[in-house]
Amino acid sequence: MSLASVGTVEDGLAYFDSLPAVRVEEILGAWRGAEVPTGNPLDGLLDALGWHGKTFDGPDGAHPLVFSGPKGLFEVNPALVPIGLAVRFGRVLRLPVVPRLARAVLPLLRTTAPKARLRMVEYRGVVTATTCYDALPIHDHLRRVDPDTLLGAMDLRGLDSPFLFTLRR
């Protein structure tokens, strides 16, 4: 199985489960993110908003939402993002005007302070590096695809299945 063969949440989780764990110290640095479409209610939203990826400065210095804008990259405070609305009204948020408006507002949610931590957490039977958001019930569990690629499973309270994404150095 490979990333290219992932089409459903079940496929994605089977592939995720086949991958080895990764340690916190192995993933420090800047990563470029991409969604893995599986039919999740959040599919397409981050890409539409200009999500760039994540930056891990250290165990206590994780920036889980890095976006690209006209003036370059910037971090967004996840606590200010209405994730509950995104889950409930994902279809409405895909209307072309909504991402354009949201992209205009995102710079107002900017932060320079880390808003998450990296910890080793057990998920699906394996202890692996995990981004633990400070102010939201979100954990991004990470597994190694290859030395420069990670597969992430965002576990959000209230979301029936994880949102899958990749990170590349």
Domain with residue 47: its CATH number is 2.40.128.580
Q: Which residue has the tokens 């895909």?
A: 94
Indicate the number of domains in the chain: 1
Higher pLDDT, 168 or 70: 168
State phi, psi for 152 to the nearest 5 degrees.
Answer: -115, 150
Q: How confident is the model at residue 111 (pLDDT cuts 50, 70, 90)?
A: very high
Task: Return the percentage of the chain with pLDDT > 90, whole number.
Answer: 68
Q: Which residue has the tokens 């889950």?
A: 87
What is the pTM (predicted TM-score) of this model? 0.93
> Which residues constitute the domain of residue 27?
3-168
Please state whether 16 falls in left (phi above 0), alpha (psi between -120 and 50) or beta. alpha
DSSP 78: G
pLDDT at 87: 72
In one-letter notation, the amino acid at residue 88 is R
> What is the mean predicted confidence (pLDDT) over 149-159?
94
State phi, psi for 81 to the nearest 5 degrees.
Answer: -90, 125
Structure tokens at 48: 């539409």
- Residue 116: CB atoms within 10 A of its CB come to 24
